[in-house]
A = this chain, B = another copy of it.
Amino acid sequence: MFNKVLIANRGEIAVRVIRACRELGLQTVAVYSDADRNALHVRYADEAYNIGPPPARDSYLRMDKLLEVAKKSGAGAIHPGYGFLAERADFAQACEDEGIAFIGPKPHAIATMGDKARARATVAAAGVPVVPGTEGKENLTDDELLAIAPKIGFPLLIKAVAGGGGKGMREVRSLDEMPAALRAARAEAEAAFGDGNVYLEKLIEGARHIEIQILADKHGNTIHLGERECSIQRRHQKLFEESPSPFVGQDEAFRQKMGAVAVRAAQAVGYISAGTIEFLVDKDKNFYFLEMNTRLQVEHPVTEYVTGVDIVKEQIRIARGRPLSYTQDQITMHGWAMEARINAEDPYNNFMPSIGRIEHMVLPTGPGVRLDTGIYAGLEITPYYDSLISKLIVWGETRGHAIQRMRRALEEYKIVGVRTTIPFHQNLLKQSRFIAGSFDTRFVEERFSMEEADAMRETHPEIAAILATLVAHQETMRAAHIIRRAKRDTSNWKWYARWERIHR
């Protein structure tokens, strides 16, 4: 039984896992690249080991170094978080070979679900509905794919076999577009995953992305924790999640039906640990297996809030060989939870990444607010890693209460130093279609623009005018001062000496 856990990740998820370990009385080992010496996960862990230069391939993706640190520190287990090595069967295998508990599923389950075609074939064989496509046929050439495409029918999606997160994905509306789209998708997949294999899938229009959280232990118990609604996406990246789904709502039979199918899908690969079955759901409540994420999800906190289950602690319990703390009939959903992903991106500039030093922050706090983050005032946001800097999660008795609380929390949340997606969420929560719960996965891209959203809301142009004018006026006054003063100049080192003396 392990008592020390190495967290093979960084950012908010490393902090999340460290917290769970600490609350269970387990020792924690952080790893960090040269860019992350000051990161919160390094500060919060009991031990911290440098594993190389900033690029992930030289540090967070270096299995050899991670295993070396595990051995050196005496860590008996590794939690991979999400991303990086979380869905690498070879890493899970390497841990097993070294006698280190991998806090996640078995290599075979990762490998099966990681290859989208095999995954679909496996769950389809277990009676789980899948989206029509080229599942099960690996390494198809462009010519083969071009021949099959018309049989599936357009529109369709080209997706990377090794993919995830929208990388290597292209939508195609006609055969003419296929050759170029195939080239682009393969190149992107190759660059992102080192594997250019792709497959085709029918595009379900007007679809919602709804997923079921699974927990499975080593004693044959597999349960689900209800659904999450993840249809608010942009370029196939989730931006905002909630649980329950407003589409499922009070339809408990539908929820349990999806849940039971999800449990079957997980059992089809002998799954253990926490995992997620993603479904595409059409307007008639048909649902299709999309893929399984064989790891902890970014959006796991919304499920934790409504069920009261600590998913990360359960993962650790499972890895320690313990049975689940809950049976299926002990799982009930109370109230409503929502998560807004706060990315260091500028929503007014095409979600361009924004880097820089976090100069100042005021965090939203108070009742029903949870924040999962890896940043603090003074930290530098670098260009090397994911732009997710914080997750704002709220709980309310009803969806309406949760929306109101999320609005006030977003209003309170102040970050100075980088641009963030906070204004995006503020606009999203004012959209009548969002409030009504009637949106699909295309909502953000097709029916939403920041500029239009801004224009629709109550505005205060006179207040903006006052603010800008007063600030501009102050700047002008200050500049005038300085020009006057600077007439008598002195050399730089003199100034510096005095400055240091006075300011130390």
Chain A interface residues toward B at CB < 8 A: 15-16, 19-20, 22-25, 40, 44, 301, 304, 308, 310, 334-335, 360-363, 365-373, 376-378, 396-397, 401, 404-405, 407-408, 411-412, 478-479, 481-482, 485-486, 488-490, 492-502, 504
Q: Whole-angstrom distance between the alpha carbons of A486 and B493 in the complex?
A: 9
Q: Which residues of B sit under 8 angstroms from A368, Cβ to Cβ? A: 310
Question: Which 9 pairs show the lowest CB-CB distances between chains A and B?
Answer: A485-B497, A365-B371, A495-B498, A22-B408, A490-B494, A23-B404, A362-B376, A19-B366, A482-B501
- A448 CB to closest chain B CB, in angstroms? 24
Chain B residues within an 8 Å CB radius of A363: 363, 365, 371
Q: A23-B404, A490-B498, A497-B486 are in contact. Are A308 and B377 (CB under 8 A)?
A: no
Q: Which of A362, A369, A486, A492 has the most CB of B within 10 A?
A: A362
CB neighbours (8 Å) of A335 from chain B are 308
Instruction: Determine the distance from Cα of A363 to Cα of B366 in the docked complex, in whole angstroms.
Output: 12
Asked, given contacts A372-B366, A408-B23, whether A495 binds B504 with beta carbons under 8 Å apart, the answer is no
Contact A499 B495 (CB under 8 A): yes
Residues from chain B with Cβ under 8 Å of A497 in the complex:
482, 485-486, 488-489
**What's the Cα separation between A404 and B405 when bound, in Å?**
28
Question: When A360-B378, A408-B23, A478-B504 are in contact, do A16 and B486 touch as well, CB less than 8 Å?
Answer: no
Across the two chains, which residue of chain B brings its CB closest to A334?
B308
Q: Which chain B residues border A367 with CB–CB below 8 Å?
A: 16, 19-20, 301, 304, 310, 370, 372
Q: Is the CB of B500 within 8 A of A495?
A: no
**Is there contact, CB below 8 Å, between A366 and B370?**
yes
Given contact pairs A308-B334, A363-B363, A500 touches B481 in the complex (Cβ within 8 A): yes
Residues of B within 8 A of A494 (CB): 488-490, 494-495
Cα distance A376–B360 in the bound complex, in angstroms: 10
What would 5 more interface pairs be, CB under 8 Å, given A15-B366, A366-B371? Answer: A19-B366, A22-B404, A485-B500, A489-B498, A492-B498
Are the CB atoms of B377 and A408 closer together than 8 Å?
no
Asked whether A25 lies within 8 Å of B365 as measured between CB atoms, the reply is: no
What residues of chain B lie closer than 8 Å to A334, measured between beta carbons? 308
Are A19 and B408 in contact, CB atoms less than 8 angstroms apart?
yes
Output the least CB separation between A357 and chain B (Å).
Answer: 14
The reply to whether B369 and A370 form a contact with Cβ atoms under 8 Å apart is yes
**Which of chain B's residues have a CB closer than 8 A to the CB of A19?**
366-367, 408
Nearest CB of chain B from residue A249's CB, rounded to whole Å: 20
CB distance from A81 to the nearest CB of B (A): 14
- Distance in Å: Cβ of A502 to nearest Cβ of chain B: 8
A327 to chain B: closest CB distance in Å? 15
Residues of B within 8 A of A485 (CB): 493, 496-497, 500-501
Interchain CB contact (< 8 A) of A370 among B16, B22, B365, B490: B365
Identify 9 residue pairs between A and B in the complex whose beta-carbon atoms are under 8 Å apart, listed by A's number.
A16-B367, A22-B411, A361-B377, A365-B373, A481-B500, A482-B504, A494-B494, A494-B495, A495-B502
Residue numbers in B under 8 Å from A502 (CB-CB): 495
A405 to B363, CA, bound (A): 20
In the bound assembly, the distance between CA atoms of A55 and B502 in angstroms comes to 34
Report the minimal beta-carbon distance from A308 to chain B, rounded to whole angstroms.
7
| Most chain B CB within a 10 A radius of its CB, from A372, A482, A486, A502 | A482
Question: Shortest Cβ distance from A376 into chain B, in angstroms?
Answer: 5
Question: CB-CB < 8 A to A20: which residues of B?
Answer: 367
